[in-house]
Amino acid sequence: MSIELRMEQYIKQEGLLSPGDSVVLAVSGGPDSTALLHMLKKLASRWQLKLHVAHLDHGFRGEESRREAEWVASLAARLGVDCTVKHVDVPAMAAAGGKANAQEMARQVRYAFLLETARRVGAGIIALGHHADDQAETILMKLLRGTSLTGLSGMSPSSMRDGVKLVRPLLRIYKEEIEAYLHEHGYDYCTDSSNLSRKYARNRLRLDVMPMLKSFNPEWAETLNRMADIVRDEDRFLHHMAEDAANRIFRRTASSCTGSRERFLELDVALQRRVIKLILSYLCANQEQAESIHIEQVREAIRQAASPSMTLDLPGVTFKREYDQVHFIAGAHMSDMRAYHYTVPHPNYRLMIEETGAELHFRELACAELASLRDGHGIDMRSAYFDLDHVVFPLTVRSRLPGDRIQLPNMPGTKKLNELFIDLKVPPSIRSAVPCILDGEGRMIWVCGIRRSQHAPVTDQTKYVLSITLLPNESLFHDIQ
């Protein structure tokens, strides 16, 4: 079976392309991407594909790379395919930015260029020329550096990056087959001289290690790729299990994840690691920041029993453990929030607390509307009810202050607010965000969502009720019960 037909079958099997798709092809001019261009050009007429070639000159090899850019543009023109060529001096960029790893910067610049081109021409797919030998190299490189099961699965046939689908149609075809295909059809291609330089670790692996491995097993690359296919399926299964576990245990917002330590510890260790990695990847812009050392630090912080409260600073995320609650927070944190102070002038009022995103709704109700409320306590801790005739306005809504005290129902004297928070295990990270409501005489009548005072209870003599409802920002007030 020809490699053109094998590629088409692989595309169908993995759902890489559909008839009518607009596709940007990353073409360097080397044998792999050149073969991909020729094969997709033939497929395009039957699948009604709209192709666009994209080539980036990184500026590493001077005149040689400029000639390659011209050659790619010429090839695209001969095949009747639109082409975008861009020149970027990556070495100069790396030097100016103090970046030692110019190769990594080149990779980032290349993907940014491909994504930019795809959006500009209206393409939802970028086709890359990675082949089966590249897959084996990638797995071997990750294995040598240390990796997880996900790393052993190698490159995925397709993935999403910033809303654009990346596909690798040649991932089941080997370099030797690609070069034979080009020779058979008389297709020219460019040779990158830097591929022979041993200063790059990947080149040393390709030039020195892989030939040696072939002496042990002539089909070692095929064996590694078969393993990757199996591992990828198992990794996908475990990933879904981790997602289910994370959704059961953690409450997720755009900038935080909060869940129960006890329920997390019920998971198998393998799932614990995957759930942590999933959360860190979700909250980090760069998923690669979720490294194994950070995952283990978090897992140990959750597991150990000595310290009920602690904080870890991770790349882009702060981890907090507070009693049975564990929090992963991206961006600003509640404990760093500035103080706030608002005035409520009358009983029918809606207040937005800008610092926390919470809302308070104040309403005057006839007592008949709340005939079942006779003990002065609300239906739940998000609501509180007071005898309106015994509440002095204006009210004050503010964050807590040192020395704050509240007189609780059926208790003599007053209790320090800080002691109340400790007794009820209110997480330290949200204590400064909890709204405190004081009446016009300075008496604290409600610590929102925590406890109301004994002041102005609803009784049989109450005619009008002041109803106060807390509508919290769930990412900030997730622990108010």
Whether the CB-CB separation of 40 and 69 falls below 8 Å is answered with no
- Report the CATH fold assignment for 3-215: Rossmann fold (3.40.50)
Report the alpha-carbon distance of residue 10 to residue 127 in Å, rounded. Answer: 13
For the stretch 5-9, contacts whose Cβ atoms lie closer than 8 Å and that sit 24 or more positions apart, written own/partner, are 6/172, 6/173, 7/39, 7/43, 7/169, 7/170, 7/172, 7/173, 8/43
pLDDT at residue number 378: 43
Structure tokens at 388: 């309106």
For the chain, which residues score pLDDT lower than 70? Answer: 97-101, 196, 285-291, 331-338, 368-380, 473-481
Structure tokens at 47: 């699948």
pLDDT in tens, 13-49: 999 999 999 999 999 999 999 999 999 999 999 999 9
Domain 253-331 class in CATH = alpha beta
Helix (H) or strand (E) holding 148: none
Report the alpha-carbon distance of residue 37 to residue 79 in Å, rounded. Answer: 9
Structure tokens at 281: 């990847």
The residue among 365, 341, 371, 346 whose CA lies nearest residue 436 is: 341
Read off the pTM. 0.64
Whether the CB-CB separation of 251 and 257 falls below 8 Å is answered with yes
pLDDT in tens, 252-302: 887 889 999 999 999 999 999 999 999 988 887 554 545 677 888 899 999
Q: Rg of the Cα trace of the chain?
A: 31
The residue among 232, 51, 53 whose CA lies nearest residue 158 is: 232
pLDDT at residue number 370: 61
Distances 170 to 9, 160, 208 between C-alpha atoms, Å: 11, 18, 24
Report the alpha-carbon distance of residue 266 to residue 246 in Å, rounded. Answer: 12
Ranges of each domain in the chain: 3-215, 253-331, 337-471
